Structure 1
Amino acid sequence: MFLVGLSGGIASGKSTVVAVLRELGCAVIDADVIAREVVQPRLKAYQQIVRYFGPEILLESGEINREALGSIIFSQPEKRRLLNAITHPEIQKEMLKQVLKYFVLGYRYVILDIPLLFETKRLTKFMKHTILVYCDPQTQLARLRKRSGLSQAEAEARIASQLPLDEKRRMATHVIDNSGDRESTRQQVLRLHARLEGSLDFLWARLAVGTAVAALGGLLYILLQHFIS
């Protein structure tokens, strides 16, 4: 099994690509979903966030008010670094658990849907392949304004806050161009899925694990023979 990193930009259409991949039965691990799960009440990250940021960031239900917390970390970089230091280890542990689950189930590859994959660059070294969901700047701006009701200036500011898609495009090993219609995007995903499914990259991981298991089994056999004799 090998890992495939998936990312995009705001309003580039990554959710459309993920929907097609799920239809194909692909294993997709969504970092955003995990990020919400690890800060649920009574969990370790939740307790640390409340301790450091105070009860004023909680809703009446006791859950974290993501909008209130977001406004704090947006204007205070040191608070953002603190939040990342609390949540990232928990997110990565949960992602690893899910990767191991899919490995045991025999999947050839697992897709890690990570919004800031190319910005942070910390996880790209673990990916055999990386995919960028791309669309041209004009389409991206129009989609964002239509989806969010933002003004031209507001939408441009949101897009400018992220690494440009053209720069991410140079980092990715595969690009899905989502500038056109949904069917065009779907066909690109189908072709890429067939290519990844047909890859022999997964054999290296299986071979490495098989070798390790065989070596461990041999060692146990030798030890048992020693104690029996």
Structure 2
Amino acid sequence: MKKQITQKNEILQLGITGGIGTGKSTVCKIFETLGIAVYDADIRAKMVMVTDNILKKELKKAFGEEVYLSENEINRDYLVKTVFSNQTDNSKVEILNSIVHPAVGRDYQNWYNENKDKSPYLLKEAALMFESDSYKVLDAIIVVHAPLEERIKRVLKRDSHRTEEQVKAIISKQMPENEKLKRADFVIYNDGSHSLIEQVLKLHEKFQSLS
């Protein structure tokens, strides 16, 4: 695990990633209570998917008109079943990412311009940070880790519309956990035996000292 950060941005920009159900959002809420601005790529992507007309046209072209229930509502059940149903074929996942990630990248740049003077450092939360290559423009990456069984339980409790098979299909499309851990600069363990608050506070102190 890296102990030093070679800062390449004017403002320290850090990524938080981890597979579905690892607890990234919980970790980010702790950082937010400490006054840190956090960009939630998942939430922002959902917003962009219903506000960016160019993106909407590209999604309809790739996956059909059924991808939208209305002009302002995406058909999430249809999209999940269409994109993630085949655990051995990643082609539709790659198409979806190639359409959505550039739009989210543009949105992040706008968010950065709005928040760079409001926070000692900035955090970007994204499940597919390594897969999308968005980590390359950030100064360091934090990976949130949790046992697979616990992740599945969390997602099923949080997303009642999902089935266990759907959750496992999504996980199968994400980068393997051991690969994420290899690439991590810092790891936060959300396994019930480590204090999230203590881990976040230690990192917060380190990042503040670099800002």
Rounded to whole Å, the distance in 2 between the matches of 1:92 and 1:57 is: 22
* Preserved contact between residue 21 and residue 155 of structure 2 (Cα < 8 Å): yes
> Gapped runs of 5+ residues in structure 1?
203-229
Deviation for aligned residue 1:10? 2.1
Rounded to whole Å, the distance in 2 between the matches of 1:156 and 1:52 is: 24
Rounded to whole Å, the distance in 2 between the matches of 1:147 and 1:64 is: 19
Aligned position for 1:128: 139
Deviates more, 1:144-153 or 1:47-56: 144-153
CA 1:90–1:180: 2 relative to 1, 3 Å = same
* Preserved contact between residue 41 and residue 47 of structure 1 (Cα < 8 Å): no
Aligned position for 2:6: none
CA 1:135–1:87: 2 relative to 1, 3 Å = closer
Rounded to whole Å, the distance in 1 between the matches of 2:66 and 2:166 is: 28
Residue 93 (structure 1) aligned to one of 98, 103, 106: 106
Bigger radius of gyration: 1
Aligned position for 1:107: 119
CA 1:84–1:23: 2 relative to 1, 3 Å = same
Aligned position for 1:227: none
Deviation for aligned residue 1:84? 2.9
CA 1:42–1:118: 2 relative to 1, 3 Å = closer
**Normalising by structure 2, what TM-score?**
0.78
**Normalising by structure 1, what TM-score?**
0.72
Deviation for aligned residue 1:146? 5.6
Aligned position for 1:12: 22
**Number of equivalences:** 197
1:191 equivalenced with 2:207 (yes/no): no
C-alpha distance after superposition, 1:96-117 (max 9, x if no partner): 11112122x2533110101011
Residue 180 (structure 2) aligned to one of 159, 168, 173: 168
Deviation for aligned residue 1:14? 1.3
Aligned position for 2:55: 45
Aligned position for 1:33: 43
Report which of the two has the higher share of helix.
1
Deviates more, 1:172-181 or 1:75-84: 75-84
CA 1:57–1:148: 2 relative to 1, 3 Å = closer
1:83 equivalenced with 2:96 (yes/no): yes
Higher relative contact order (CA 8 A, sep 6+): 2
The residue type paired with residue 196 of structure 1 is F
CA RMSD of aligned residues (A): 2.9
Rounded to whole Å, the distance in 2 between the matches of 1:38 and 1:152 is: 28
Percent identity of paired positions between Structure 1 and Structure 2: 31
Rounded to whole Å, the distance in 2 between the matches of 1:125 and 1:21 is: 22
